[in-house]
Amino acid sequence: MFFSPLLRGWGETGVKKRIVTAVLLAAGLGGCALGPDFKKPAAPATASDSYTPKPLPAQTASAPGVGGAAQRFAFGQEIPAQWWTLFRSPALDQLIRSALAQNPSMAAAEATLRQAQENYNAQSGNLIYPSVNAQLGATRQKTSTATAGAAAGVFNLYNASVNVAYTPDVFGATRRTLEGAQAAVDYQRFQLEAAYLTLAANVVTTAIQEASLRAQLQATREVLDALNRQLGVIEKQFEYGAIPRTTVLSQRNQVAQVAATVAPLEKALASAQHQLSVLAGKLPGEAGMPEFALESLTLPEQLPVSLPSELVRQRPDIRASEEQLHQASAAVGVATAAQYPQFSLSGSYGSASQSFGKLFDSNTNAWSLAAAITQPIFNGGALSAQRRAAEAAYDAAAAQYRATVLSAFQNVADALRALDADAAALKSQAEAEALAKETLTLAEQQYKLGGISYLSLLDAQRSYQQTHISLVQAQAARYADTAALFQALGGGWWNRKNQ
């Protein structure tokens, strides 16, 4: 190795020792870090532990049938990291695990986090430690007789040296730069958590939507079958001359109207299935995707609800916004330090000779030691303007943070109220559907006996069809509201074992 003679003799002379000592002393220089010291924003002060102006009931209303269980709010209870397992669906659990492993959005978020971490490593390596470079060179040149006189001529020059340069962080510019870079890493980490939560919630809600559409489609087909059976009876009555043709036409129109709703439901169901495939990182045409039914999902009867004071530490979007605020704070420090003197130290030790064979002889040694200070004097107010711009950016980040917090609290409040309201709506809808079904059965019997007109039967059929479909939608809303609450509360990512 060409530089081994240099490196072996590095600490042997007083000159070399002075160079090393100067660099080490420079590394120890460090004054105060200018600019604001970042402090995590405090949680919003609330008058109580409630997210809503009016207190929530201890539990929601209950209703018979699918998705009708009463749900209790457990304030202060921890949210499990795999919150979707509370629906007790192995197929849903497996699909979410597959999506987390194969979805390209997750892969992109993970890669972006790695990029931010490596950028931080690169910056810390450049800014914290002295740069040490080895150089080996050979030059062939000719000097002029006008400048060198009798010594003029053509000759070779060989040189080898180790160069050291360092910029002491006297006013904290380096520390603030690295502080901002670390905040950028943390921002991407919380962005990854947000992507994790969003993907899991999207899979759950899309699975619920698929189950709801399948149930609506089945209910619509059942109604259509009943109408067709009724149409068969009416046509026979028309053949015997018991009823006018207008009655037959009205029934056929009712059948056609219901049949027309089947295709849009089939289209929406197919779209939901395609969406599930894409979320799982698969092409829509690939086989092996599960089919969901509302009956296969269990509605969690106990809902853990984080306290408002804890929400700001649990929502990934709030934490990401906080790191953006941290970055903006560090940028103010960097802009402030730029207005103060900048120090630099450099040193080199090496050899120079006209003969390569004598390059490392003792009499060919050469060294240098230099220090410099740069003080901005006049720059047209640019540095002051940059600092004011950094302060304005900090104010903007602070406002954006507050907006994110407000939106998060609104999400939780909306989800809690939806759980309470939709439970009551399902109870009413179940009662309405039961009454409509009973009314339809009675109307069909009365019509066969001639006790009511066909228009009365038609009204009973329409009423039952509408209430039956609405019941299915109300049942699906209970599941979707539950998933929305877990998402609004942050999804329990902090309880994962690898955190």
CATH number at residue 212: 1.20.1600.10
Determine, yes or no, domain membership for 1. Answer: no
> Could you report the per-residue pLDDT of 342-401, keeping only the tens digit for each?
888 888 888 877 777 777 777 778 888 888 888 888 888 899 999 999 999 999 999 999
Which pLDDT value is given to residue 136? 83
Q: Give the lowest-confidence range in 322-336, 426-440, 454-468, 478-492.
A: 454-468
Q: Which residues are CB-neighbours of 36 under 8 A, at least 6 positions away? A: 329, 332, 333, 394
> Could you report the per-residue pLDDT of 69-128, keeping only the tens digit for each?
999 999 889 999 999 999 999 999 999 999 999 999 999 999 999 999 999 998 887 777
Task: Calculate the CA 476 to chain-centre distance.
Answer: 26
Q: How many CB atoms lie within 10 A of CB 78?
A: 12
Count how many domains the chain has: 1
| pLDDT tier at 31, thresholds 50, 70, 90 | low
Which pLDDT value is given to residue 360? 74
Determine, yes or no, domain membership for 15. Answer: no
Which pLDDT value is given to residue 27? 45
Of residues 142 and 464, which shows the higher confidence score?
464
Question: Is 15 a residue whose pLDDT tops 60?
Answer: no
| Of 33, 37, 34, nearest in space to 326 by CA | 37
Determine, yes or no, domain membership for 355. Answer: no
Question: Is 249 a residue whose pLDDT tops 50?
Answer: yes
Contact 75, 302 (CB under 8 A): no
Which pLDDT value is given to residue 463? 87
> Could you report the per-residue pLDDT of 250-261, keeping only the tens digit for each?
889 989 998 999
What rounded mean pLDDT belongs to the chain? 86
Determine, yes or no, domain membership for 149. Answer: no
Give phi and psi for 369, each to the nearest 5.
-145, 125
| Of 470, 442, 467, nearest in space to 456 by CA | 442
- Helix axis angle for 454-488 and 173-239, nearest 10°, is 170
Which pLDDT value is given to residue 18? 43
The stretch 160-167 carries a mean pLDDT of 83
Determine, yes or no, domain membership for 230. Answer: yes
- Helix axis angle for 454-488 and 245-260, nearest 10°, is 10
The residues facing 304 across adjacent strands are 74
Determine, yes or no, domain membership for 191. Answer: yes
Determine, yes or no, domain membership for 477. Answer: yes
Contact 291, 367 (CB under 8 A): no
pTM of the model: 0.83
Which pLDDT value is given to residue 11? 45
Percent over 70 (pLDDT), the chain = 91
Percent over 90 (pLDDT), the chain = 54
Tell me the helix, strand and coil percentages in the chain, rounded to 5.
65, 10, 25
Q: Which residues are CB-neighbours of 444 under 8 A, at least 6 positions away? A: 230, 457, 460
| pLDDT tier at 8, thresholds 50, 70, 90 | very low
Q: Which two tokens stand for residue 464?
A: 């039952």
* Bridge pairing between strands 72-75 and 302-305: parallel
Determine, yes or no, domain membership for 296. Answer: yes
In angstroms, the CA 468 to CA 359 distance is 96
In angstroms, the CA 173 to CA 175 distance is 6
In angstroms, the CA 236 to CA 254 distance is 17
Q: How many residues does the chain have?
A: 499
Which pLDDT value is given to residue 392? 96
In angstroms, the CA 440 to CA 149 distance is 121
Which pLDDT value is given to residue 3? 40
Give phi and psi for 27, each to the nearest 5.
-65, -25
Contact 371, 342 (CB under 8 A): no
Exposed (0-12), middle (13-18) or buried (19+): which is 140, by Cβ within 10 Å?
exposed
Order of strands, sheet of 365-374, starting from the edge strand that comes earlier in the sequence: 131-142, 154-166, 342-353, 365-374
> Could you report the per-residue pLDDT of 197-211, keeping only the tens digit for each?
999 999 999 999 999
- Containing structural domain, residue 269: 31-132+169-341+385-495
Which pLDDT value is given to residue 14? 47
| Of 83, 21, 76, nearest in space to 49 by CA | 76
Question: Is 325 a residue whose pLDDT tops 70?
Answer: yes
Question: Is 141 a residue whose pLDDT tops 70?
Answer: yes
Which pLDDT value is given to residue 478? 96
